[in-house]
């Protein structure tokens, strides 16, 4: 079974400052990793994904994440945040079994609160 | 290309009633998954359909059911509603083919309130 831990429930940060949202996972098998963002009263939007290859992945809106297999982490970073980045961010993992779609296991989410 | 479409966006029901939620996947996507989001339990997987067959099921009671049609559209049904079923229900679709097929794209959700 897989599990995901997002240790920070809320991260306050000032506009234009850098930010890191932490995500650690546990799995006995190979996994795919994802970050989704949820704005108020909306669904989940895919920010970025790690499927294979380079461990540094870039996503939309200037976000990037690094897959660290030895530390079982997939932290999300942005060098300079904007007010519009205020949202809930979810880290998710699914079992790597080729082309079949496997269920996503989500972390509890981190609320990124950007202050002016 | 249109995204995942969920209807209706909002629903208000009373205890004991039943409800049906609808999901139209991205064109060409063959897999549809359903998730429940609540403040207390977070995001939890309900079930996944592929080629009109349920392939995977989460840990929810039998009151929660679903189906998928030949055009990949999916419906989810909850019978004998309970107060605790109040949640945001999210549908996600994926190609289900190749490595990229594991990427799930979500709709805006249906907010269900049970009174």
**Omega into B40 within 30° of 0, i.e. cis?**
no
* Mutate: best of A35, A103, A104, A108, partner B, most B CBs <10 A: A103
Nearest to A44 among B45, B90, B97 (CB): B90
Cα torsion for A59, A38, B97, B45, to the nearest 10°? Answer: 140
Instruction: Inform me whether the pLDDT recorded for A35 exceeds 80.
Output: yes
Q: List the beta bridge partners of residue A34.
A: A49, A92
Q: Which residue did the predictor score with more confidence, B98 or A41? A: A41
The model's confidence at residue A53, banded by pLDDT at 50, 70 and 90, is confident
Calculate what percentage of chain B has a pLDDT beyond 90. 91
Q: What is the pLDDT of residues B69-97, one digit of tens each?
A: 999 999 999 999 999 999 999 999 998 87
Whole-number pLDDT of residue A99 = 61
Note whether A103 contacts B109, CB cutoff 8 Å. no
The model's confidence at residue A29, banded by pLDDT at 50, 70 and 90, is confident
Note whether B105 contacts A101, CB cutoff 8 Å. no
Phi, psi of B37 (to 5 degrees): -120, 120
Average pLDDT of span B18-27: 97
Whole-number pLDDT of residue B82 = 98
* Minimum distance, in Å, between the CA of residue B54 and any CA atom of chain A: 12
Whole-number pLDDT of residue B99 = 77
Q: Is A84 helix (H, G, I), strand (E, B) or coil?
A: helix
The model's confidence at residue A98, banded by pLDDT at 50, 70 and 90, is low
Residue in chain A closest to B95 (alpha carbons) equals A101
Which residues, 6+ apart, have CB-to-CB distance to B80 below 8 Å?
Answer: B16, B18, B63
Residues of A in contact with B43 (CB under 8 A): 90, 92, 104, 106
Tokens of B44: 């939890």
Q: List the beta bridge partners of residue A19.
A: A78
* Minimum distance, in Å, between the CA of residue A20 and any CA atom of chain B: 22
Note whether A45 contacts B31, CB cutoff 8 Å. no
């Amino acid at each position: 079974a897989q599990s995901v831990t997002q240790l920070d429930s809320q991260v306050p940060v000032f506009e234009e400052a850098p930010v890191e949202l932490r995500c650690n996972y546990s799995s006995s098998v190979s996994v795919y990793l994802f970050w989704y963002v949820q704005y108020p009263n909306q669904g989940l939007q895919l920010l970025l994904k790690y499927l294979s290859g380079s461990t540094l992945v870039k996503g939309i809106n200037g976000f990037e994440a690094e897959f660290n297999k030895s530390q079982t982490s997939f932290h999300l970073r942005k060098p300079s945040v904007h007010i519009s980045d205020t949202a809930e961010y979810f880290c998710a993992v699914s079992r790597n079994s080729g082309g079949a779609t496997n269920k996503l296991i989500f972390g509890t989410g981190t609320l990124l609160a950007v202050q002016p | 290309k249109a995204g995942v479409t969920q209807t209706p966006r909002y629903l208000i029901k009373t205890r004991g009633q039943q409800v049906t939620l609808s999901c139209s996947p991205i064109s060409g996507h063959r897999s549809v998954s359903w998730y429940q989001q609540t403040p207390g339990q977070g995001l939890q997987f309900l079930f996944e359909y592929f080629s009109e067959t349920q392939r995977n099921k989460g840990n929810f009671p039998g009151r929660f059911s679903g189906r998928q049609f030949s055009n990949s559209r999916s419906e989810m049904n909850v019978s004998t509603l309970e107060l605790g079923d109040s949640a945001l229900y999210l549908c996600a679709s994926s190609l289900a083919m190749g490595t990229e097929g594991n990427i799930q794209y979500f709709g805006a959700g249906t907010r269900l309130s049970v009174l």
